[in-house]
Structure 1
């Protein structure tokens, strides 16, 4: 009986310590990638603003090969969206704002996962022959310790896919 009581007290103290320590951790995870695409800004914007074009470069457009995609009409510009419904998951991407000179900002809402605020910002390079691109995602983690701990590995989880997406986008825009 005494051993059971000691075990229960230890579990409660350990749980309290983990929760207390997690309060120090940030409640937001940010993943960012940058690059230069050797194409004019309007060419790059055409591929990031049209959600149907995302299938060619964005690693998360079709997270489930069995998913059916539904697009808004028109599929580009502010308030454009696409949704998917598949065996593994379902969700929706909504473009919050879109500007040919600056890029787009979007909300990614996946069932049973925290919403993601994202953006793909564009700037012409100094010589005007290429486009600097900045892709970022911000995930609100909340206060629960297991979500906050996931924030520490967010860059390792999402970063490689973002790198792959930027490489594909660069190849498409540069005509390679």
Structure 2
């Protein structure tokens, strides 16, 4: 009986310790990548603003992840959205992307919902590049994590897990936009 009591007290103390340590982690996870695309701002904006074109470059919209996709009409501009369902690692997944704001001179802001995950507030911020010949782009994902330790741990790992996908998506977007420019 004494050993069981000691184990319960130890487990409780360990849980409290983990929670207290998690308070040191930020309550927001931010992942961002940026680059320069050698194409006019209008060409880049047309790609990020039109959701039906995202499967060509966005890692979360490709046919391997999103097998069934439904687009709003129209599929671009403020209020446009798409929903998807599919299988990922033998698990049924669903999600929705909704454009909150769309500005041809600044880019778009959108929300991404995915199964039981926290909502991701995201943006493609666009501006002319320093030399004026291309477009500087920043892709930013921000998630409010709350106070629970397991969410904060996910947030702590977010850049390492999601950053490479953003880089891959920006590279594909760059290739598409530079090809359209020609």
Question: What band does the TM-score fall into relative to the shorter chain?
Answer: over 0.9
Scaled by the length of structure 2, what TM-score is found? 0.92
Tell me the secondary structure at the aligned position of residue 73 of structure 1. Answer: coil
Counterparts of 1:141 and 1:117 in 2: how far apart (Å)? 12
Deviations 1:1-40 (A, max 9, x none): 2111111111111111111221222111000000000000
| Alignment-derived partner of residue 18 in structure 1 | 18
1:143 aligns with 2:147: yes
| Alignment-derived partner of residue 119 in structure 1 | 123
1:61 aligns with 2:61: yes
Contact residue 49 and residue 76 of structure 1 kept, 8 A: yes
Deviations 1:73-113 (A, max 9, x none): 11000000000122420010000000010000000011211
Counterparts of 1:2 and 1:63 in 2: how far apart (Å)? 57
Aligned Cα RMSD in Å?
1.4
**For structure 1, which runs of at least 5 residues remain unmatched after alignment?**
none
**For structure 2, which runs of at least 5 residues remain unmatched after alignment?**
none
Tell me how many residue pairs correspond in the alignment.
176
Contact residue 64 and residue 89 of structure 1 kept, 8 A: no
Contact residue 101 and residue 108 of structure 2 kept, 8 A: yes
Instruction: Give the counterpart of 2:96 among 92, 95, 120.
Output: 92
Deviations 1:88-142 (A, max 9, x none): 2001000000001000000001121110000000000133210000100001111
| Alignment-derived partner of residue 9 in structure 1 | 9
Counterparts of 1:59 and 1:118 in 2: how far apart (Å)? 14
Tell me the secondary structure at the aligned position of residue 175 of structure 1. Answer: helix
Counterparts of 1:171 and 1:161 in 2: how far apart (Å)? 16
Moved over 3 A (4+): 62-66
Scaled by the length of structure 1, what TM-score is found? 0.95
Tell me the secondary structure at the aligned position of residue 26 of structure 2. Answer: coil
| Alignment-derived partner of residue 76 in structure 1 | 76
